[in-house]
Amino acid sequence: MSETSATYDPLDLARRLMACPSITPATGAVFDTLEAMLAPLGFAVERFVEGDAPDGPVENLLAVRANGPGPHFAFAGHLDVVPPGSGWASDPFVPHVRGDLLHGRGAVDMKGSIACFVAAVARQSALPGTISLLITGDEEGPAVHGTVALMARMAERGVVPDLCLVGEPTSVNRLGDMVKIGRRGSVNMWITVAGSQGHVAYPHLADNPIPRLIRILAAIEAITLDAGTDWFQPSNIEITDITVGNPATNVIPAQASARLSIRFNDRHSGTSLVARIRAIVEREDGATLDAKISGEPFLTPPGAFSTLISDAIDAATGIRPELSTTGGTSDARFLSRLCPVVEFGLCNATMHKLDEAVALADLAVLTTIYADILDRVLHASSTEEAAGPKRAI
3, exposed or middle or buried, with CB in 10 Å at 0-12, 13-18, 19+?
A: exposed
The span from the CA of 33 to the CA of 35, in Å, is 6
**Residue 375 burial by Cβ neighbours in a 10 Å radius (0-12, 13-18, 19+):** middle
Q: Is 204 known as a binding-site position?
A: no
Helices (H), the chain: 3-6, 10-18, 29-38, 111-123, 147-157, 210-221, 270-281, 304-317, 332-335, 360-374, 380-387
Asked if 339 contacts 100 with a C-beta cutoff of 8 angstroms, the reply is no
Q: Which residues pair with 241 in a beta bridge?
A: 259
The answer to whether 375 is annotated as binding is no
Q: Are 273 and 223 in contact (CB under 8 A)?
A: no
| Residue 78 annotated as binding site | yes
> How far is CA 303 from each of CA 139, 310, 323, 340, 342, rounded to the nearest angstrom?
27, 10, 11, 10, 11
26-63 burial code (b ≥16 CB/10 A, e <16) = bbeebbebbbebbeebebebbbebbbeeebbbbbbbbb
The answer to the question of whether 296 is labelled as a binding residue is no
- Sheet containing strand 255-264, edge to edge, reads 236-243, 255-264, 185-194, 287-295
Chain centroid, CA 10 distance in Å: 22
**What distances in angstroms separate CA 8 from CA 12, 90, 122, 186, one per listed residue?**
7, 26, 7, 38
Catalytic residues: 80, 139
Indicate the pairing of strand 251-252 with strand 129-136.
Answer: unpaired
Is the Cβ–Cβ distance between 357 and 350 less than 8 Å?
A: yes
Q: Are strands 58-67 and 129-136 parallel, antiparallel or unpaired?
A: antiparallel
Whether the CB-CB separation of 330 and 343 falls below 8 Å is answered with yes
Binding residues for Zn(2+): 78, 109, 140, 168, 352
